[in-house]
Chains A and B, each alone.
Chain A
Amino acid sequence: MSGILILEQTLNGLQFGLMLFLLAAGLTLVFGIMDMINLAHGSLYMVGAFLAATVAERTGSFVAAVAVAIVGTAIVGMALEMTVLRRLYARDHLAQVLATFALILIANEAVRLIWGPQVPLNTPPALSGPVQLLPGLAYSSYRLVIIAVGLAVAALLYFAVTRTKIGMLVRAGASNREMAIAMGVNIKRLFTIVFGFGAGLCAVAGAMLGPILAVQVGMGESILILAFVVIVIGGIGSIRGALVGAILVGVVDTMGRAFLPALLREFLPPQFASALGPALASILIYVLMAAILFWKPQGLFPARG
């Protein structure tokens, strides 16, 4: 097992994890501050990807595509919050789950009506080739950009949450909402802003992952589960938890899928290894989540004291 292989798989895991972080960050804030389970978060990711694809096709500029996607999805997110989601804060989790599940159905069909079942989104031509990182490792330049963007957003979030006033309000709301309200925070406006911001993050993930995956109806469902696993592992309401959890999930999942089957082949007869390997690799992150919850039932960095 060469060092280059391990390095490359680590980079892959990091790339995957950082994108998960973008989704998880918005999700954990909404959950932490508003105590709301939002299954439609994956749909915002999908809307972001579709918007980016359309703009990229019209203008040929990937940067414009991402920018428009962020703004457009944030607007959609805030509109959604003000009309539908606001009514769910006082309701219990079942109502929230069902209502947001209904939103998934509506979003999927609405997107299908407007755009059709899928649209193409390509990497910007400048980034379609490799970058020679080491002799013997020419890594995709686009994936490196994804990692860079992910880290930049993480830094931006850290700055925003710890150094700005609104960040402080967000942290206050996450750790004790009732107290924040009592202290006079305009909680309604804060919620809307947080939601819009989370939607914007989803759009970045959707636009950046679009060229690697596929921009299609229903693309939010599979990644949504992973995002939930991340925030449960990381601790609900904590952005730091979302970052650590996301990178953990990304790296474990990638490494597991890459090396577990080979590892099993060393110990088990090939018959079992080839059947067990991929299955075990797929459930590895769920096992990880269960294990972490066993030791730290509130996740790694719970926001609430």
Chain B
Amino acid sequence: MRRTLLFATLAAAIAFPLIAAPLGWEFYIGFASRVMIYALAASSLNLILGYGGMLSFGHAAFVGAGAYVVGILMAEGVASAWVSWPLAILVAGLLAAAVGAISLRTRGVYFIMITLAFAQMVYYIVVGMKAYGGEEGLNLATRSSVGFGLNLKDDATFYYVVLALLVAGLYGLQRAANARFGRVIEAIRENETRMEAIGFPTYRYKLACFAIGGAVAGLAGALLANQNSYVNPNLLFWTQSGSLMIMVILGGVGTLYGGLLGAIALLVLEEVFSAYTIHWQLGVGVILLAIVLFAPQGLAGLLARRRDG
């Protein structure tokens, strides 16, 4: 049943742009791309938060870093995706490694605060970069070029590229989760002291998890910069980290498709509600609160977890 559902979803996703055009739904191809990009970002946070149990409030900084790498390179004349996207992944990953190296030496609320502080620092630095738009953001002249005769400016082509990368990302997540790395990380989340006593270098595992999550977030950021053809410091503000967290919790913390489901749920809710009322955030807030308070599903992994001293 699971397998069939998976293939059905994939088939529907592949078919979507083809049926959207004749129905006059072109706008929604772009919308679907946006959902998938956020799904990728949320999944990268899910790795850190869901599997790793690390409450990082600075994840938006890594997404934003990836986005700005693409934006800045574009402004300097480098449009090739083969250069800017890997660079976005690298920069975001290194940033995550640096932030993680310092933050992971702390625990509990101090960890949350330090990740938050670092994220705000990156935000203010980006705001200060007047050469690249500062407060106003930076328009990208065009979308990245991938070659092979493919034009990413065409919404449908871009959609397929994003879909391919999302599938690759989820596949990678599945492999990692089922491999030794994933098992160790989850065990550390359950009881770090025990894992340390057994002899695992927990700090190194957590740092690796943090850096990988950050790197994938950078990729999502690169795609986001392309989707909007625009980057702006708001991408890095702490409330964006909050939105990503909401997606993860809505979808199911620590589950493979948690990021995907959460992104779909939140963005679709936003789109549908906002067509009827400007107060859609009220609905989202109530649903989120209800889930946290009453719905163990999605929070099942969390409830089993012991609290960090």
Contact = CB atoms under 8 A, between A and B. Distances in A.
In the complex, A touching B, CB below 8 Å?
A: yes
Interface of A: 31, 37, 84, 87-88, 92-95, 97-99, 101-106, 108-110, 112-113, 221, 225, 228-229, 232, 236, 274-276, 278-280, 282-283, 286-287, 289-290, 293, 297
A286 B302 contact: no
A221 B130 CA distance: 25
Given A93-B108, A236-B109, A279 B127 contact: yes
Given A101-B242, A102-B289, A104-B285, A95 B299 contact: yes
B260 interface: no
Among all A-B residue pairs, the 10 with the closest Cβ atoms: A279-B128, A105-B285, A109-B282, A106-B285, A102-B288, A282-B124, A102-B289, A286-B117, A99-B292, A283-B121
Main secondary structure of the interface of B (DSSP, over half): helix
A87 B289 CA distance: 11
A99 B246 CA distance: 10
Contacts of B299: 95
B282 to A, nearest CB: 4
A276 B128 contact: yes
B55 interface: yes
Contact of A282 (B127, B245, B292): B127
A279 B106 CA distance: 26
A110 B55 contact: no
Interface residues of B, number: 46
Contacts of A88: 293
B114 interface: yes
A216 B175 CA distance: 47
Residue from A84, A101, A297 having most chain B Cβ neighbours under 10 A: A101
Given A93-B108, A102-B286, A290-B114, 8 more contacts: A97-B112, A99-B288, A102-B289, A110-B282, A275-B129, A282-B124, A282-B128, A289-B117
Residue from A84, A109, A297 having most chain B Cβ neighbours under 10 A: A109
Contact of B113 (A104, A228, A276): A228
A276 B302 CA distance: 42
B116 interface: yes
Contacts of A236: 109
Interface string B214-253: 0000000000000000000000001100100110010001
Interface string B97-116: 00000100010111011101
B9 interface: no
B128 A278 contact: yes
Contacts of B293: 84, 87-88, 99
Given A87-B293, A94-B49, A99-B289, A105 B109 contact: no
Contacts of B55: 93-94, 97
Interface string B150-176: 000000000000000000000000000
B131 interface: yes
A15 to B, nearest CB: 23
26 contacts: A84-B293, A87-B293, A92-B302, A92-B307, A93-B307, A93-B308, A97-B55, A98-B246, A98-B288, A99-B288, A101-B245, A102-B288, A112-B279, A113-B279, A225-B238, A228-B116, A275-B128, A275-B129, A278-B128, A279-B127, A279-B128, A282-B124, A286-B121, A289-B117, A293-B106, A293-B114
Contact of A105 (B49, B114, B288, B305): B288
Given A98-B245, A102-B286, A105-B281, A229 B112 contact: no
Contacts of A232: 109-110, 113
B284 interface: yes
Contacts of B49: 94
B120 interface: yes
Nearest to B306: A92
A158 to B, nearest CB: 25
A258 B77 CA distance: 37
B300 interface: no
Contacts of A229: 113, 117
B125 interface: yes
A225 B130 contact: no
A102 B128 contact: no
B285 A103 contact: yes
A160 B192 CA distance: 41
Contacts of B118: 286
Nearest to B131: A275
Contacts of A92: 302, 305, 307-308
A37 B112 contact: yes
Contacts of A87: 293
A84 B114 CA distance: 27
A105 B273 CA distance: 14
Nearest to B249: A98
A274 B131 CA distance: 11
A10 to B, nearest CB: 23
A236 B48 CA distance: 26
Contacts of B106: 293, 297
Given A92-B302, A232-B109, A102 B292 contact: yes
A282 B233 CA distance: 14
Given A93-B55, A93-B109, A101 B288 contact: yes
A275 B129 CA distance: 7
Interface string B168-212: 000000000000000000000000000000000000000000000
B302 A94 contact: yes
Nearest to B120: A286
B110 A109 contact: no
